[in-house]
Structure 1
Amino acid sequence: MLAAMPPSPSIRPPGAKPPLRDRGDACPGALRLHSAADGHLARVRLPAGDLTVRQATVLADAADRLGDGHLSLTSRGNAELRGLPEGCGAELADLLRDAGLLPSARHERVRNILASPLAGLTANAPAQVRRWARELDGLLCASEPAAGLSGRFLFVLDDGLGELAGLGGDVSLVAEAARTGEPAGAAGTALLRVGDDPAALRIAGPDAPRAALAAAEAFLSAAAASGSGAWRVRELPDGQRLTARDVAARLHETGLTATYLAQPPTPAAPSSPRSATPGIVDGPDGTAALCVLAPLGRLTSAQWRLLTAVAADDGCGALRLTPWRGLVLPGLPAGAAAARLSALAAAGLITDPDSPWHRLGACTGRPGCAKSLTDVRADAAAAVTAGARLPAGEAADGLPVHWSGCARRCGHPHGAWVDVLATEEGYRVSVVRPAAAPDDTPAPPPHPAPPAPSRTP
């Protein structure tokens, strides 16, 4: 049966009151593990998704020695280890600390920084947001107040091409190119945005990381004053929202200059972000980058080690995780890119934008999550194998598809998506749009139908 379902809990319909938080968030970290049905889970924050080959190798070792031999990629460019045993926390922390993945124990859950994955790798994608991300991470870890941020608070750094600008950042920086008349190599400027405020602040590029930290600290002050316990900017009560004007005052106090823009330019978000599209991206000076995706956001340690080997042997020794549960391998010789992409495809990674796995996601489901009604990942894989078409009609064309085992819809995409939700009666398919309930337009029957939930015990 097809029916419209309630909106995701993370979507706040117009006029709805924000939640009152009487406790801290329960987001897992690398030190605070989450107890799941399949063991403990650790989420390792990777600001800007950056990993060296050594760090990536350490994560694979941890997955094999302590976990279930897999790594999961999150929509914030972080990595998760699952199936961890009781009492492994100290050993895991030592591994991560020795690899430079735990620069501050008190701040490890607040290092949620997204940055454009292809910045600096193509001619029209300026590199400064990657530098801003590193500087912001250092400032966060040195800030005493910043340790009080929620594990859900998000910084988004967009290179000006719009790929990340719509991903729901609490504090967003959008790079602006050097303007006419400025010398070549000028640092340019950045637009700072806060939550959903349409206004922005224009600041000098070199000031961007400090300004982003100041905005986050302004949020903490606003949350404390409101008494709401808000975890994110959008949760502040109406009438007490943090605005760009409020942040401008905070910047003035710290000696930073900002220009208030009531109607700032907005980058047009591409319908298919470059780093979300698998394949080869041509770079400067005869180099190329590989963009690959993990099926349903999950990799075996063998697949992860193959990616690491390509980065070490042919790339620049680095990997970048993306918000689309994929990886970018930069710095390969252009002549070697096609062969390496073929090897990754043979290993089961998504390397072709026409793959049926492209833009397909799923929550953990059973057996990993006790709240799930079914093994949604197995059901989604069965639907792909059977060539199932989802009954969402033309409204779903081109949208990502996300399978969920319960109404929490964990890990669903930003923006609009096709919602495949397990219920007691079977799967229900609808289109979810931001700040609205799923589309309830009747859809034609599927051909063939998605499978019924598998009811894994």
Structure 2
Amino acid sequence: MLAAMSASAPSPRPQGAACARSSGDACPGTLRLHRADDGALARVRIPGGVLTTAQAEALHEASRRLGDGDVHLTSRGNAQLRGLSQDCGPELAGLLGAAGLLPSERHERVRNIVASPLTGLDDRGLPDVRPWLTGLDRLLCRSESATALSGRFLFALDDGRGDVDALGADVTLVADGADALLRIGDSATVLRLPGAEAPRAALLAAEVFLHAARPSGAWRVKDLPDGVHATLRDRVAQRLTGATTADASRPKRAVPPPPGLVPAPTAHRHSVALAADVPLGRLAPAQWQLLTGTARRCGGELRLTPWRGVVVPGAAADRADGLLAELDAAGLITGPASPWSGVGACIGQPGCAKSLSDVRADAAAAVGPPGRLPVHWSGCERRCGHPHGEWVDVVATPGGGHRITVVRDGTRPHDPVTVPPGSPSLASAVATARTAP
């Protein structure tokens, strides 16, 4: 089905392209720590967000011994450990490597794969993309050329519900019956191919991107010059046998799993999954241990979601309400009425030197009834960890104010609302933006 394809690493010193990066890819990993104001930061890639309880325990132990004790969830279903000492690298690598979280040291920063968190768990009858997940991760870790991918390059595996297809990945696979649809960047034209070939086709697309990106030094598909971007799909199709084109527009908004009980397929009515969101993505030690213990009593697995949530599969149906109540009592979001539903924020002050405000405290002071749109609070213009699709963008401004904008289709209107420092209208302005039609 696939012809062989090799690719060279992007030029470390890109020249002449408008989208070329001025410095190397400094995206943090487990073996490359990032210096922050609250200590070193490690980002642990967790393909598909899938953790065994032993791996979850290893993350807790690493954070307890070496960091601030908390586990921080990211917008890609990964985990971050903060407050680390700069010299903890060998011990951290040993702890996580022993738990199977570092299957390849050379590939640890490129294992960026999100997958539909409820795949194979609910009653919608959609294909289970877990075989794609394990297959793609295995291929990535065996690929010499894949080591040249940026730590920001993202794969998405969607089971057909459209949730992770909307996240703006560089390479997306969407299940369509027994077939797979391969999307490169935001293209509305996809390639249809047999589902069994999907993982290898995704890796091929990444290799073709690397070859195309070499002159510009682009890290992601969206960074490529327009002319190069438009030909990527055709270059991939030339190396596929039997692939056909189809139209499939990317969903405009990602819809995360609603918190609560997840009905199981008819054949597994004796068990359900538990879904909970995490306020601002930060899990205190007791909360993480509760989740790990709950998973141990259920199916032995945790799934971290790209919306800073957690899914626990395999809960006995007659015990599920009680287990969900325990998560709720621990401060997790277990229903749609929580004021924290859909609220996100970057780390802000004091953890980030670039932040103009303690945006987590700002968000807590302004939290109110949940709205139609998610809201993300950012301490600076970088907007780290922001959602995709439609969302409310709240950015701290110099002097202590905030600028509020409704984002649609990745673009911002020209008439944002600016709230001055200390204004009592901040909460109402955010609430109004979240209910925008």
> Given the two structures, how large is their TM-score scaled by the length of structure 1?
0.84
Counterpart CA distance in 1 for 2:168 and 2:384 is 16
Q: Determine the structure 2 residue equivalent to 1:132.
A: 132
Aligned to 2:260: 279
> Can you list the C-alpha shifts for 1:16-70, whole angstroms capped at 9, x where unaligned?
x852124332110000000000000000000010100000000011111101011
Asked if 2 retains the 8 angstrom alpha-carbon contact of 1:171 and 1:195, the reply is: yes
Q: Cα deviations across residues 272-319 of structure 1 (Å, max 9, x unaligned)? A: 43x1x2111111322111110111111112101100100001x11000
Does residue 290 of the first structure (1) align with residue 274 of the second (2)? Answer: yes
Residue 126 of structure 1: how far off its partner (Å): 3.1
**Alpha-carbon separation, structure 1, partners of 2:42 and 2:324:** 30
1:409 counterpart (383, 397, 403) = 383
8 A contact 1:165–1:269 mirrored in 2: no
- Are residue 247 (structure 1) and residue 236 (structure 2) matched? yes
Match for 1:431 among 406, 411, 415? Answer: 406
Going from structure 1 to structure 2, the CA distance change for 1:311 and 1:415 (only over 3 Å counts) comes to same
Q: Which amino acid aligns with 2:293?
A: A
Q: 1:305 aligns with which of 258, 273, 289?
A: 289
RMSD: 2.1
Which stretch shifts more, 339-348 or 240-249? Answer: 240-249
- Given candidates 242, 252, 259, the residue that maps to 1:257 is 242
Question: CA separation in 2, counterparts of 1:18 and 1:190?
Answer: 34
Bigger relative contact order, structure 1 or 2, given CA contacts below 8 A and separation 6+? Answer: 1
Cα distance, 1:434 vs structure 2: 3.0
Q: Quick one: distance in 1 between partners of 2:104 and 2:187?
A: 31
Length-normalised TM-score, structure 2: 0.88
441-450 or 210-219, which deviates more: 441-450
- Tell me the CA shift for residue 250 of structure 1: 2.5
Provide the aligned length of Structure 1 versus Structure 2.
405
Map of 1:41 onto structure 2: 41
Q: What's 2:184 paired with?
A: 194
3-state SS of the aligned residue for 2:334? coil
Secondary structure of 1:43's partner? strand
Query: CA separation in 1, counterparts of 2:296 and 2:351?
Result: 33
Distance (Å, rounded) in 2 between the aligned partners of 1:367 and 1:28: 19
| Corresponding letter in the other structure for 1:56 | A
Relative distance call for 1:269 and 1:73 in structure 2 (3 A) is same
Question: 2:312 is matched by which residue type in structure 1?
Answer: L
Contact 1:189 1:204 in 2 (8 A): yes
Cα offset, 1:200, TM superposition: 1.0
What is residue 219 of structure 2 aligned with on the other side? 231
Contact 1:218 1:250 in 2 (8 A): no
- The one-letter code matched in structure 2 to 1:26 is A
Task: Kindly provide the amino acid, as one letter, of the partner of residue 243 in structure 1.
Answer: L
Residue 327 (structure 1) aligned with residue 310 (structure 2): yes
Shift in alpha-carbon separation, 1:266–1:421, aligned structure 2, 3 A: closer
Instruction: Give the whole-Å Cα distance in 1 for the aligned partners of 2:402 and 2:162.
Output: 34
- CA deviation map 1:239-267 (0-9, x unaligned): 1124322111123xxxx431223xx2457
Gaps of 5+ in 1: 1-16, 178-187, 390-396, 452-457
Alpha-carbon distance between aligned partners in 1 of 2:419 and 2:87, rounded to the nearest angstrom: 51
Counting only pairs closer than 5 Å after superposition, residues 2-81 of structure 1 correspond to structure 2 as 19-81=19-81
CA displacement at 1:417 relative to structure 2: 1.4
The separation in 2 between residues aligned to 1:436 and 1:124, in whole angstroms, is 32
For residue 365 of structure 1, what is the aligned residue in structure 2? 348
